[in-house]
Each structure stands twice: as structure tokens, then as C-alpha cells.
Chain A
């Protein structure tokens, strides 16, 4: 639904590898499936290149555990866990 935050803690589903981005351990690569969340942050996350199908490498967590650093499209991006939670991904083997 438009504008309504949809918190999806997707761990089940048909695909066992389907998770939200905040659950992914560093040094793992994933593929973006969908961006949910509130309108403004969703739009920005898409603009930054986390469009469905994009490959994202999880690099590291900040020393205090949050935010998390990712690499995608050849550049580095950091999101708080709260934002990462809105990105549904599939772990790449």
C-alpha cells in the first residue's frame, strides 16, 4: 500500500534464501528483490541503485554494530539497520 510502512521480516517464503538486508552477515553477496518501507526512504534507496536484480556485497558493520557498509554498482554505501530492514534480498551462492 502507498505510503504505509511495511516492515517485512521475511525469513520464510518459497525461497529459503530470502531475507531482509539487515540480517545478512558481512562478506556475503546478495541480490535485491524488492524495496519496501516508507515512501521517501524507499525512493532514495532505489535512486541509490538498490533496484531489483542488483548485486550487493555486504562489507562490514560499523565498530559499534550499526550502520552497515555495502558495495554495489562499484561504490560504497552505508545504511542503518532500520533502512536495511526494508530491502528484501536473496543470498547469492
Chain B
């Protein structure tokens, strides 16, 4: 019989936790979310020496206070789920701050094993760490590892299993000053007499209560002893206490460090030298913009040939299917509905993979936090974090990977706002619509009009962010306290794994809802409208007045009439939800000119709509409901239909408002007549 155990992987951000996790579990991992929240949760399996280990990757945290959602998740997992062993990954080049988390894990009384990672870098830097002494001092097993090369993993697993079989968990205790200790003892007495608290380590719980930890107080409030607890809590000043506690932990760490290692602090590190250039007053911004440009080029230029191949392939597949299947409606469902639908999902895959490859290079090398450092001043003006810049810029290529890129933002509110405003950045798929309409109506000024649309998108995005920050997502501003980790050479394997993880999530989760949406629109376009005597999915019905969608278009007409749009435009906009560039194609079909864009622009310019209505239509296309792929990832990334719907309604209202002002206002003032 194999034994089954749970091992939690804890550690500060950027210490190589993901590398260690990948080295332990290989490909046997599952990425999901923590219950109820959208913080990523990775679980992997590994059998070692007949022990079946389930490895749970906790979010990277500096501490275990209730400061951020990540910390609460990590802490709650440890105190509520009680993993058999906790492995803390430590960056050997940054011991002092990393050990701060260690002191907290030790106070939690968990079975702890330390993976002393990045030992190669510590050695290169000239640090000398005596693991044996460290182990003696902490009374916790210490195993050195090199996560990026997978060195030391077996030793780590062995130590974890050994730790499990030790009969006694060492009661690791730090002593604080007498007054704190006195109150801790009083609280402990209360907690230990109440079975409600039997589940929690009493000393740790008492300290957290005294520190005024809201999350812990909330738990305590549910017990019967709360009034008694409160009395003791009131005797201490939480502010003074927390400073003393932090101070004491760091003092203990310093005492230990003096004994176990010899750290070379004298010279300027390579990382500092790189930063002198990269975050330089003069060069910092140009370097940042060039890197952004490079990432953008790689993502969208390199992506294009692949997208074309995918496009051609699915076009061919749809055609073949339509030819092979003899039942016309089935042929249409498979060809125009399902295959085209799957194609519209897969077509973004090259962009997503390339963008995430670039992002993971930037994250793993340590540049991402420099980018946030450089851009923060600008972003903070709109109530956003420096890290929101990259997702927004990527939106110019495609909003789908942009929304997914918001994962790099730690604060959940900043992330949510970034996701909600990212669809306003004008993506590549809207360009065909602009080119057609601006070309038909504005001739030589088309360039100015298109530039104006891009500028409008940016303005709507940042002003909406500001608006949300000061209304529905109000609250204490998130403090900006960010580590600038030392630069590291990213590994190809690490970046590839990261890239594939993202791609898989996109295909799996977003894929389902996009497919449903696409097939839904196909059905609406194929089902004959009641009263019309067309056949289901016949050419004569598909997307015309004889179909349900045509009927919907006519129902919608009064709504869009004030914008100068007729029912054909309304239908084109419904189709545009599948993918925005379809607006053009479906207008071609509806105006009876097929896919020929030149005759379409001739018809339009000849009086099918006014220039003001055309301008309004371009603005409407920019701001209204994003495409299904976008809706899919918004749902996936916010984890909430409420926020997804909010985005759709907010965007569409803005679109309507802008188009209304342009058409009605412009007509009244006699503009562009």
C-alpha cells in the first residue's frame, strides 16, 4: 500500500517556486482556481519511495498576515486543510527577507522543510552558507536545490518524507518581550479551554489576535469566548505590538545569519549594473518602449502567418465538410457554425502563445517589475498599478491575450479594473471595419479618423478606470510596495511551460463558451422567422429578413435608428459579436454585394448611410460588446457573470451614447453634410 500525503509549497514570489514545482511534478499537474476566487491554484502529483505526494502550490507571499488575498489563501490552506508537510522555497541570495516567512511558518507549528534554492547564484555572488548550521539553528531540515536545473529535488522529497515520520514536531517558538508573552499566555488559556479553537495552533492564533489581524478576529468572533478574548486584546496596542513582533523576528534572523553564513555585500551586483541602464532617468523609458514594441511585433507579426494558415485550414475544412455532407442544414451547421466557430477560437492561439512566451520571458528575467516601476507614475494617475500597462498595450493586437495578461497584477481590484477596461483598446479585428468605413466616407482623411478611433479607445479605457476606481470599485488605494528582484536568465523550458499553460486554459475554458455563442448565432441566422416560408438553414434564409436574426434586426431597428443605423447594420452588429471583423463581411451579404468590399463601400457612400452615421458606427464597433472570445476570457478571468455582464452593458451604453451624440449632434450642427 502506498501512503498518500499532501505537501504544500510555500515561498516568497520570484524564489523559483514554479521551477521547483515543475521539477517535482513534471507534466502531472492540474491548473485551476482556489475555490471562490480567481487566484490560480496548481496541484501536481509525484510518487516517490512508495509515497504518493500531492503537491499544492500556494500563492507566492512575503508574509502570512491578512494583507492580500494571496496571503489569506496560503494561510487558510495551512491552518484549515493542514497539509502533512510544508516545503518553503527560499532564495539563497536573499536569505534575510525570505526567512521572515520561515519564522511565521515555524510559529504555525507545521512540519517544515526548507528548499534552499538558487544556491548556484549565491555561490557565484560569493556568499557562503552553512546549511548544516542553519538546520541546527532552525531545527528544520534544509536541502539545497537549483530549481532551474532540477538539482536537489530527490533530496528534498526524501527530507519531506522523513519529516513526516518524525514523531515529534519541534515546538519552534520565538520569545517576544514580557508584556507580549504575558498577554499571549492569557489568550492561550482562553483558547485552549474552548473546543472551537482546538483546530488552530494556540500560540500563533493568540499572537495574531493581539496583532489585530482582521481575518483571525473574524474567526474568533464565531466562538463563545469572544468577549473574554476581546478583554485581553484591549489591553494591548496592536500597532506597537506588530512593530515589536516584526522587529523580533528580524532580530532572530540576523542572529542566526551571523552564525551560519558569510554574505558578500561589498560589491555592486550585476543586477544593479543592469538597472543603472534599464531604469535610468534618460534611457529607462526608451528602453521600455522598445521592448514593448518588440513584444508587440513578435506577438502579432510572427503570429500572422500562423493565423493565416489556421484561417486557410479551417476555410478548407468548412468547405470540404459542406461538400461532403449532403443534408443542407447539417452541412451549414457543421461548416458555417461549428467548424467556423472552432476556427474563430483557434485563430487567436498563435497570438496567445507568443504573447505569453514574451510575458514569461519578462517575468522570469525580472524585467516585468522594472516595467511596472517605470510606468507606475502614469498608471497611478488613473488609479491603476504600473503592471496594468502591459495588458493594455497588448490590447492593440488582440484583447483576448490582453485580458489574460492581467494575471500578472497581484491586487484583485486593480486586476478587475484592468480586465474591464481592456476591451476598449482598439484591437486588430476592428481595423477592417475602420478601413472600410473611413475609406468609403472620409477619403483622404481616413488616416486621421482611424487614429482618432485609437485615441478614443485609450481615453475611454483610462477614464473608465478612473471612474470605476472612484465609484463601484472604490476603497482604500492599494499601497505600492513592490520588490525589484535581481535579474535572472530565464530558461526556455520554463517559458515554454508557462506559455502552454496559458494556451491550454484559453482553449479549454474560453473555447466552450465561444463555441456555444457561435453556434447560437448560427442558429438564429438559420431558423426561418415565423411567418416566412423559408427552409431551415437554406441560403435564402441564412442571415436575411427571413431568418430569426433578421427579425431581431428589425426589432432592434428602432433602438439604433436614432444613431442613423438601419436593420441591416443592427444584424451586422449582432454578427460582429462573433468576431468584430465579421461586421464588414455580413454587411456585404446584407447589402447584397457578397464579400466584395469595393462595391460595398460604393453602395454605402452612395447613400445607404450618412458620413455621421458611419463615424458613429465605427465608434460603436469600438466600444460595444466585445467578441465572444473576449466575453469568454472576461468570464474566465473575473470568475463572475456579474462582472462580465457589467462590462457588456457598460460598453454598449457608452457605444450608444457616443454614436447618438455624433449622429444627432452632428446632424443638428450640420457637420459633414
* Cα A69 to Cα B486 with chains together (Å): 13
Q: Are the CB atoms of A38 and B476 closer together than 8 Å?
A: yes
Q: In residues 368-396 of chain B, which contact A (Cβ within 8 Å)?
A: 369, 373-374, 376-378, 380, 386
Given A38-B476, A76-B483, verify A47-B62 contact (CB < 8 Å).
yes
The reply on A2 being an interface residue by CB < 8 A is: yes
Q: Are the CB atoms of A48 and B97 closer together than 8 Å?
A: yes
Q: Are the CB atoms of B374 and A75 closer together than 8 Å?
A: no
Chain A residues closer than 8 Å to B373, beta-carbon distance: 62, 67, 69, 78
Q: Are the CB atoms of B65 and A77 closer together than 8 Å?
A: no
Chain A residues closer than 8 Å to B265, beta-carbon distance: 74
Q: Are the CB atoms of B279 and A51 closer together than 8 Å?
A: no
Which residue of A41, A59, A66 is within 8 Å of B377 (Cβ)? A66
Chain B residues closer than 8 Å to A2, beta-carbon distance: 212, 237-239
Q: Are the CB atoms of B279 and A69 closer together than 8 Å?
A: yes
Chain B residues closer than 8 Å to A63, beta-carbon distance: 279-282, 284-285, 374
Q: Are the CB atoms of B97 and A49 closer together than 8 Å?
A: yes
The reply on B246 being an interface residue by CB < 8 A is: yes
* Cα A54 to Cα B251 with chains together (Å): 10
The reply on A13 being an interface residue by CB < 8 A is: no
Closest to B246 in A: A46
Q: Are the CB atoms of A40 and B247 closer together than 8 Å?
A: no
Q: Are the CB atoms of A77 and B484 closer together than 8 Å?
A: yes
* Cα A61 to Cα B376 with chains together (Å): 12
Q: Interface size bucket, A side?
A: 35 or more
**Number of residue pairs A-B, CB distance < 8 angstroms:** 135
B480 to chain A, nearest CB (A): 4
Q: Are the CB atoms of B242 and A78 closer together than 8 Å?
A: no
The reply on B63 being an interface residue by CB < 8 A is: yes
Given A2-B237, A62-B374, A69-B484, verify A51-B94 contact (CB < 8 Å).
no
Q: Are the CB atoms of B374 and A44 closer together than 8 Å?
A: no
* Cα A66 to Cα B67 with chains together (Å): 23
Closest to A69 in B: B484
The reply on A7 being an interface residue by CB < 8 A is: no
Q: Are the CB atoms of A74 and B94 closer together than 8 Å?
A: yes
Q: Are the CB atoms of A65 and B377 closer together than 8 Å?
A: yes
A40 to chain B, nearest CB (A): 6
Q: Are the CB atoms of A45 and B374 closer together than 8 Å?
A: no
Given A47-B65, A62-B284, verify A73-B96 contact (CB < 8 Å).
yes
* Cα A27 to Cα B655 with chains together (Å): 50
Which residue of B97, B243, B380 is within 8 Å of A80 (Cβ)? B380
User: Which residues of A come within 8 Å of B, CB atoms?
Assistant: 2, 34-35, 38-49, 51-54, 59-67, 69, 73-80, 82-83
Q: What would be 29 A-B contacts, judged by CB atoms less than 8 Å apart?
A: A2-B212, A2-B238, A34-B243, A40-B67, A41-B481, A42-B239, A43-B242, A44-B67, A44-B481, A45-B481, A47-B67, A51-B247, A52-B247, A60-B281, A62-B373, A62-B376, A63-B284, A63-B374, A64-B285, A67-B373, A73-B97, A76-B271, A76-B483, A78-B483, A78-B484, A79-B482, A80-B376, A82-B479, A83-B481
User: Which residues of B come within 8 Å of A, CB atoms?
Assistant: 62-63, 65, 67, 93-97, 100, 211-212, 237-239, 242-243, 246-247, 250, 263, 265, 271, 275, 279-282, 284-285, 369, 373-374, 376-378, 380, 386, 476-477, 479-486
Given contacts A43-B65, A74-B96, 8 further A-B contacts (CB under 8 A): A38-B479, A41-B479, A47-B100, A51-B247, A69-B279, A73-B94, A73-B96, A79-B481
